[in-house]
């Protein structure tokens, strides 16, 4: 099992070539507002909704009784911990040029469009040292689905083996046709770590599982009428890992490092197991020193919407 430990990305690391404006809502200025008005604050990159009508002279993030914090701005939406808050555009391709320090892996979630492109340069405007492209739809599963079936969106994109540089420029592009929707739910840039360490053997065992979960709400009245309120969804992950006993200590250290931190978890890099991937918090991972030569880890990851 592998983990991408995220690098915190802030607005100063996003280059001028980003094609998205801060947000479709107007920026907050001192004035009079009615209930339901939405404004964004440039310094916090958040959108706030007015809850109390009247004059507003204090910036929304400093007056929570008047303004409710709703969501990140469109430009910064891929950098919170939720895939369900996505940057969107119907007028232009989404382009994020990001300067990142010592990043060797990335994960994209909630990408919508026709194709994607990941290009890494050694420095801003420098030499290309890595490139990955692909379609944002899963391959057809047969002739019927090729001609008649709707192809499923690609749930996630994992890029590893990125050459490490102290100030690499990583450009992520989501392409689509004119007028089509482009979206990007989450960008995870970080360092790629293996829970099995550098031993000569070890990995994820057969029997590992994923659990797609919905947070929609279902209620049934006394007369049998059922109401369904759609909600966001997530994917939980459970993996059993075996590894050399002399690598267990470093696995414990890595797990302690990411405790309580949302991370991208990849069950295995082997072909045919792409489903064993999620973004979430490792909620339990007991490490068992089973014998002189081997150890095991029972990892449970609670996916985030």
**74 contacts 24 by C-beta, under 8 angstroms:** yes
Q: What is the pLDDT of residues 199-250, one digit of tens each?
A: 899 999 999 999 999 999 888 888 888 998 888 999 999 999 999 999 999 9
Domains along the sequence of the chain with CATH: 9-18+77-191 (2.60.120.260), 31-72 (2.10.10), 203-303 (no CATH)
Cα separation, 164 vs 146, whole angstroms: 39
Percent of the chain beyond pLDDT 70?
Answer: 100
Q: What's the pLDDT at 218?
A: 86
Confidence of residue 144 (pLDDT cuts 50, 70, 90): confident
pLDDT in tens, 129-139: 999 999 998 87
182 or 154: which leads in pLDDT: 182
Q: How much is the pLDDT for 104?
A: 97
Q: What pLDDT shows up at residue 43? A: 96
Taking the C-alpha atoms of residue 108 and residue 5, their distance in angstroms, rounded to an integer, is 14
Whether 153 has a pLDDT exceeding 80, the answer reads yes
pTM of the model: 0.91
Q: What residues contact 252, with CB distance under 8 A and at least 6 apart? A: 287
């Amino acid at each position: 099992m592998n983990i991408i430990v995220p690098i915190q990305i802030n607005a100063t690391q996003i280059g001028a070539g980003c094609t998205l404006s801060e947000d479709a809502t107007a920026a907050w200025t001192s004035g009079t507002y009615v209930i339901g008005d939405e404004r964004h604050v440039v310094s916090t990159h958040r959108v706030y909704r007015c809850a109390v009508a009247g004059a507003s002279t204090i910036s929304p993030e400093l007056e929570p009784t008047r303004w409710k914090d709703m969501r990140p701005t469109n430009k910064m939406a891929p950098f919170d911990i939720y895939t369900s808050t996505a940057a969107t555009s119907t007028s232009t391709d989404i382009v994020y040029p990001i300067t990142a320090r010592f990043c060797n892996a990335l994960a994209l979630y909630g990408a919508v469009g026709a194709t994607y492109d990941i290009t890494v340069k050694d420095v801003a405007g420098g030499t290309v040292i890595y490139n990955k492209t692909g379609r944002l739809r899963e391959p057809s599963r047969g002739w019927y689905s090729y001609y008649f079936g709707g192809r499923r969106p690609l749930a996630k994109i994992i890029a590893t083996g990125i050459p490490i540089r102290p100030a690499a420029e990583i450009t992520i592009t989501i392409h689509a046709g004119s007028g089509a929707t482009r979206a990007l739910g989450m960008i995870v840039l970080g360092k790629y770590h293996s829970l099995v360490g550098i031993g000569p053997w070890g990995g994820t065992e057969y029997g590992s599982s994923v659990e797609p979960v919905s947070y929609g709400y279902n209620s049934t009245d006394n007369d049998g009428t059922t109401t369904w309120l759609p909600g966001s969804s997530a994917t939980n992950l459970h993996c059993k890992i075996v590894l050399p006993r002399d690598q267990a200590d470093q696995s414990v250290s890595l797990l302690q490092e990411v405790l309580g931190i949302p991370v991208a978890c990849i069950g295995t890099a082997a072909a045919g197991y792409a489903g064993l991937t999620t973004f979430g918090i490792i909620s339990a991972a007991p490490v068992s020193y089973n014998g002189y030569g081997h150890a095991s880890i029972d990892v449970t990851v609670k996916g985030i919407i």
